[in-house]
Amino acid sequence: EPLNSEDDVSDEEGQELFDTENVVVCQYDKIHRSKNKWKFHLKDGIMNLNGRDYIFSKAIGDAEW
């Protein structure tokens, strides 16, 4: 039996794992967390928000988790 033969994800399973409306793919420069507040310094990325693609070289954001 080949190594890792049973850990492959089928195409159907892969679609369920990433079924989301908004996606951000990028590199990060710096992440800062203070309690439940996060600040993100991102670079060289693409976002798909509400069906539209946005390309950026730098982005700064924050979130509460």
Is CATH 2.30.18.10 the classification given to domain 19-64? yes
Cα 60 to the chain's mean position, in Å?
Answer: 15
Can you tell me which residue has the tokens 């793919």? 25
Q: Write the single-letter amino acid at 6.
A: E
Q: Are 33 and 41 in contact (CB under 8 A)?
A: no
- This prediction has a pTM of 0.63
Q: pLDDT per residue over 9-45, tens digit each?
A: 665 555 566 678 899 999 999 999 999 999 999 999 9
The pLDDT value recorded for residue 12 is 59
User: In 3D, which of 16, 44, 13 has the Cα closest to residue 28?
Assistant: 44
Selected residue with higher pLDDT from 17 and 50: 50
Domain ranges, ordered by start, for the chain: 19-64
